[in-house]
Amino acid sequence: MTLKHPLDPLESQEIEKAVELLKLDKRFNEGSTFISAILDEPDKSIVSDYKENDPIPRKVKLLGSDKNPDGGFCAEIDIVKNQVISYERLKANGQAPYNMEEMMTAIGLTIQNLEYQKALKKRGITDFELLHIDPWPAGGFVHETIKPGHRALKCISFLKESINDNGYAKPIQGVISWVDVTLGKVVHVEDHGVVPIPKEHARYDIESQPKIREGLKTIDITQPNGPSFEVDGYHISWQGWKFRISIHDVHGLVLHELSLNDRPILYRAALSDMVVPYGDSDPMHSWKHVFDGSEYGLGRFINSLTLGCDCVGEIQYFDINQINWDGEIIKTENAICLHEEDYGIQWKHSDDRGGASEVRRSRRLVISSIFTVGNYDYGLFWYLYLDGTIQMEVKLTGIMGISAITEETYNPSQAPKVAKNLAAPLHQHLFCFRLDWELDGKENQLFETEIELLPVSEDNPNGTQFSSVAKHLTKESDAKREISAETSRVWKVVNPDKKNSLGVPVAYKLLPGATPKLLSNPDSIVSKRAAFAKHNLWATPYNSEELGAAGSYTVMSNGESGLEDYTKNDRDISKCDLVTWHTFGLSHVPRPEDWPVMPVEYCGFHLIPVGFFDKNPTLDIPPSCKTGNQSDKK
Ligand code: CO
């Protein structure tokens, strides 16, 4: 494919060229491993002014690590001018994400460690081939022997019955190995005492099921005339919507330059970061609060999707290129899925007085990718609707964190039983989405609106009246907000310079779902590192350096960077190039039904036009009623 736009995802030759140029640079250390190759998105002004056939600026950010006791390196390479523009060492308390080589190192070192082996032998385990070891980020709770600038992982272990078995059925309870990856050494092994390894397997493959369900007839979704969208490279248009897509190593699936009827709405919309704090006292889990975005690099765990399984219908797929730790290309085919879905009725009215009885069907454009980070799988689904609604839906599935228990150690209030001798700890999944607005222009305002009951008065004698109140959020401190379902609280992004035909400024509202926020104690290290999850809403004026809700780099961080830091000067947001940050998710109380693999659980938010149009924008949808339906054949 040939490049068409400054925001097009990196091509394999571009990554290869960046690696080649960096390896020639004298600052590059032999023995470095690569973590990420990220397109350095050009300045907004360059992107907005870009015209077809203009020269396309291309810069690649290469992240990597080596044995230096700091945060690794970040090199910026101009692959048009063939030069390394900068080579920066990252800070010890905000390091680049882990890579696969470090994970494998931590696993290998753990298996070879004599103390670890001793703990395993105490549990009757002698065949190390069948071990399943999960390395977890060690940031926040760092072992005293691990020096600043060292990269550390903590490993917990499981035992398989065979190579293809699901190891999570058999936790090796109470054994935790602390690995200093920089030093290449296991620095400590915890053994909290033997708990018998559960006997039952937990296989979810079809061959392992005792009986296959019957009676499910085929559903075919066909579009004989093809889909209604058009694709040009990574640019998509559908029913007035226009946008670009890409995959970012940390942010996952990104929408760029989203507009409707040539009116801009969002410059960039994506996950910024996410955290999964565990609330159990079990030493296997009590310290866990992984940033799946910035510590593991969510985007790097993208799935290759399969037609008919992951996606059905008239599907258009997009491939993407990433880098492995060796500096070679990993190409993922079918990484992004694009298709249309029927979505029930858009609107309907039956007039029983002789007027029109009409109904129109709704449909949505689905842009999705699925990421597997260790035991969990996350689907990021953007939906665009015919009425101007934008929706983000996160689909959570996969396998829960798990402990082996006995009747004596069972602690149902913190870790409910999900199978015989297995309990899954309470935990949260909190996602922070960064929405970079350009609603009908460059400068926007932010309002909070809610409904207020009016006091009984002369004008409200029966106490029946309520009214909508709007508050202009003019400073960053005003915009640290929580949801409030009982007052119908929403946040409205407004363009005061653009009015609809009714004379009212155009707006979109952010409609949150029923969501918790971070439960950890405010003074805890979890609250410091994941401060973005302390509020459901944040707002900042645009700054190209502020993309990471917990800071740009978070491995071994101590909470110095991120939204709390960005907003410390309480900048003015009364009218600006506005960025909103929305934290949402769920507090997961595990159920037996979530075992051994979780039925999808959903969370997300909607962005809904408010006076962006002058009236229902879907009156022009043609009716789709036709004869020949099943019911007509009766
Ligand atoms: Co969960």
pLDDT, tens digit (0-9, with 9 covering 90-100), for 567-598: 999 999 999 999 999 999 999 999 999 999 99
State percent of the chain over pLDDT 90.
97
How many angstroms separate the alpha carbon of residue 55 from the centre of ligand 1?
Answer: 46
pLDDT tens column, 403-454: 999 999 999 999 999 999 999 999 999 999 999 999 999 999 999 999 999 9
Catalytic-labelled residue, pool 134, 249, 273, 292: 292
Section 600-624 average pLDDT: 97
- Rounded Cα gap, residues 125 and 4, in angstroms: 56
Q: Indicate if 467 and 584 belong to the same structural domain.
A: yes
**pLDDT (tens digit per residue) in 228-252:** 999 999 999 999 999 999 999 999 9
Do 446 and 422 lie in one domain? The reply is: yes
- pLDDT at residue 632, rounded to an integer: 46
How far apart are the CA of 424 and the centre of ligand 1, in A?
A: 9
Output 165 or 630, whichever has higher pLDDT: 165
Asked, for residue 620, whether it belongs to a domain, the answer is no
Cα 128 to ligand 1 centre (Å): 29
For 405-441, give the DSSP string: --TTT--TTTS-EEETTEE---EEEEEEEEEEE-TTS
Identity at 272, one-letter amino acid code: S
- Does the annotation count 116 as an active-site position? no
3-class state of residue 370 by DSSP: strand
Taking residues 604-632, report their average pLDDT: 86
Q: What is the number of domains present in the chain?
A: 3
What CATH number does the domain containing 565 carry? 2.70.98.20
Whether 627 is covered by a domain: the verdict is no
The answer to the question of residue 634 being in a domain is no
54, 89, 124 — which closes off a domain?
A: 89
**Could you tell me if 238 and 194 lie in one domain?**
no
pLDDT at 2: 81
Are 482 and 602 members of one domain? yes
Q: Are residues 277 and 378 in the same domain?
A: yes
Domain that holds residue 574: 230-346+361-610
Model confidence band, residue 633 (pLDDT cutoffs 50, 70, 90): very low
Is 292 an active-site residue? yes
Predicted confidence (pLDDT) at residue 634 exceeds the cutoff of 50: no
Contact call for residues 452 and 431 (beta carbons, < 8 A): no
Please check whether residue 449 is in contact with residue 469, taking contact to mean a CB–CB distance below 8 angstroms: yes
What's the CA-to-centroid distance between 410 and ligand 1, angstroms? 19
- 145 is a domain residue: yes
pLDDT one-digit tens code per residue, 359-397: 999 999 999 999 999 999 999 999 999 999 999 999 999
* 617 is a domain residue: no
Q: In this predicted model, what pLDDT tens digit does every residue of 177-190 receive, in sequence order? A: 999 999 999 999 99
Ligand 1 centre distance from Cα of residue 583 (Å)? 16
In this structure, the answer to whether residues 450 and 557 fall within a common structural domain is: yes
Look up the CATH number of the domain holding residue 35: 3.10.450.40
- 430 CA to middle of ligand 1, Å? 10
Instruction: Please spell the DSSP secondary structure of 423-487, one letter per residue.
Output: E---EEEEEEEEEEE-TTSS-BEEEEEEEEEPPP-SSSTTS--EEEEEEE--BGGGG-B---GGG
Average pLDDT across the chain, whole number: 96
Residues 234 and 191 in one domain: no
User: Residue 399 C-alpha to ligand 1 middle, in angstroms?
Assistant: 8
Is 60 inside a domain boundary? Answer: yes
Distance 350 CA to ligand 1 centre (A): 44
| 375 lies in the same domain as 512 | yes
Rounded distance from Cα 204 to ligand 1 centre (Å): 18
pLDDT in tens, 81-112: 999 999 999 999 999 999 999 999 999 999 99
CA–centroid distance, 129 to ligand 1, in Å, is 29
In a domain, 352, yes or no: no
**Domain for residue 368, yes or no?**
yes
End position of a domain, from candidates 208, 238, 273: 208
| Segment holding 14, helix H or strand E | helix 12-24
Regarding whether 195 and 67 lie in a shared domain, the answer is no
> Which of 151, 178, 208 is where one domain is finished?
208
238 and 118, same domain (yes or no): no
Give the pLDDT score at 473: 98
104 and 83 in one domain? no
- CA-nearest of 236, 205, 68 to 150 is 68
98, 168, 376, 508: the catalytic one is 376
Summarised one tens digit per residue, pLDDT across range 206-216 is: 999 999 999 99
CA distance 537 to 583: 6
456 and 311 in a common domain:
yes
Give yes or no for a contact between 334 and 302, defined as CB atoms under 8 angstroms apart. no
